[in-house]
């Protein structure tokens, strides 16, 4: 997938211009949730009863705030695509916990997925088919070697071990983001061991090979692209193989 120039911005309040979303295209909105802290009340107003109940269950105020802001942002973004009010976006939870749109927007569906880490939230939207997105803030991991063994495939581990210590962090976070995005696109695959999925791009191979022990056709079905949306973060988008381009949209303060 190639990136196309940024074509829009998300503002904390006010209408979002209806984005034109063509077949073969995925939109990724990059939103800084810390810039939205002053807009928490407006955010709480557009959540539905299930979201409010979930928000109340968070133990820490910061988690509750980020959840409210993240969900309200999702509603505002989807409302721009659907041409309805944010509070009216019929969000429901799919069989394995993946949020999706309910009737009448489920045929043909607008597909989306969400990820947050640190102060960043990323939202992917496409009409092409299921998508998965992941963002990871790079943080020091105390037992990186041990965690790498739980996440990386044997070949990825060999490459990881050949790197100097400084580069291992970035390699690991990119791998994690790719795997999580891919598993989130599958939706029902979150319980699978990430070691059973391997990306040629991480091994220095040309092209976008995906080796999935449970799907020999993974490279024909899916594309997974990774990039750094900001220094200190890795992100990845998994989309159907015929999705050709990713348009990035950024938030402004
Ligand atoms: C549920 C899970 C996807 C959440 O991921 P996370 O990294 O903690 O959080 P993210 O911010 O990236 O994603 C959370 C969002 O994913 C979405 N989500 C939830 N269940 C999902 C599913 N089954 N499929 C796709 N997306 C899902 C939701 O929108 C959620 O946001 P919300 O809680 O605000 O509604 C994840 O914890 C999980 O189960 N992963 C297992 C896969 C694995 O083993 N990964 C290891 C690294 S490769």
Q: Ligand 1: which residues within 6 Å by Cβ?
A: 67, 70, 96-99, 113-116, 132, 134, 151, 176, 179-180, 183-184, 187, 190, 194
CA of 135 to the centre of ligand 1 (A): 10
* pLDDT over threshold 60, residue 89: yes
Please tell me the distance from the alpha carbon of residue 234 to that of residue 17, in angstroms, as a whole number.
Answer: 28
Q: Is 196 exposed, middle or buried (0-12, 13-18, 19+ CB in 10 A)?
A: middle
Q: What domains are there in the chain, each with its CATH number?
A: 2-250 (3.90.470.20)
* pLDDT over threshold 90, residue 188: no
CA of 94 to the centre of ligand 1 (A): 13
DSSP one-letter code for 95: T
pTM: 0.94
SS3 per residue for 31-87: EEHHHHHHHHHHHHHCCCHHHHHHHHCCCCHHHHHHHHHHHHHHHHHHHHHHCCCHH
CA 52 to chain centre: 22
> Average model confidence (pLDDT) for the chain?
92
Taking CA atoms only, the protein residue closest to ligand 1 atom 3 is 184
Lookup result for tokens 């990386």:
152
CA 32 to chain centre: 14
Q: Residue 44's pLDDT band (boundaries 50, 70, 90)?
A: confident
Q: Does the CA dihedral 244-181-154-222 come out positive or negative?
A: negative
For the stretch 128-182, pLDDT in tens is 999 999 999 999 999 999 999 999 999 999 999 999 988 999 999 999 999 999 9
CA of 164 to the centre of ligand 1 (A): 30
For the stretch 90-121, pLDDT in tens is 999 988 899 999 999 988 889 999 999 998 99
């Amino acid at each position: 997938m190639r990136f196309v120039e940024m074509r829009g911005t998300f503002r904390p309040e006010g209408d979002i211009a209806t984005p034109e979303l063509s077949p073969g295209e995925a939109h990724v909105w990059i939103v800084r949730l810390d810039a939205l802290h002053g807009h928490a009340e407006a955010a709480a107003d557009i959540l539905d009863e299930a979201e409010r109940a979930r928000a109340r269950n968070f133990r820490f105020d910061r988690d509750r705030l980020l959840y409210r802001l993240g969900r309200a942002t999702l509603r505002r973004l989807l409302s721009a695509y659907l041409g309805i009010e944010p509070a009216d976006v019929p969000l429901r939870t799919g069989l394995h916990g993946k949020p999706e749109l309910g009737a009448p927007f489920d045929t043909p569906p607008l597909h989306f997925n969400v990820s947050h880490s640190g102060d960043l939230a990323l939202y992917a939207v496409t009409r092409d088919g299921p998508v998965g997105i992941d963002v990871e803030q790079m943080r020091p991991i105390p037992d990186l070697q041990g965690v790498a063994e739980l996440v990386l495939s044997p070949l990825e581990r060999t490459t990881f071990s050949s790197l100097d210590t400084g580069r291992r962090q970035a390699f690991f976070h990119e791998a994690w983001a790719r795997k999580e995005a891919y598993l989130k696109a599958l939706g029902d695959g979150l319980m699978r061991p990430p070691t059973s999925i391997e990306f040629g791009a991480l091994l220095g191979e040309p092209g976008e090979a995906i080796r999935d022990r449970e799907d020999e056709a993974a490279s024909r079905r899916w594309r997974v692209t990774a990039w750094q949306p900001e220094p200190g973060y890795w992100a990845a988008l998994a989309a159907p193989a015929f999705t050709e381009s990713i348009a990035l949209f950024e938030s402004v303060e």
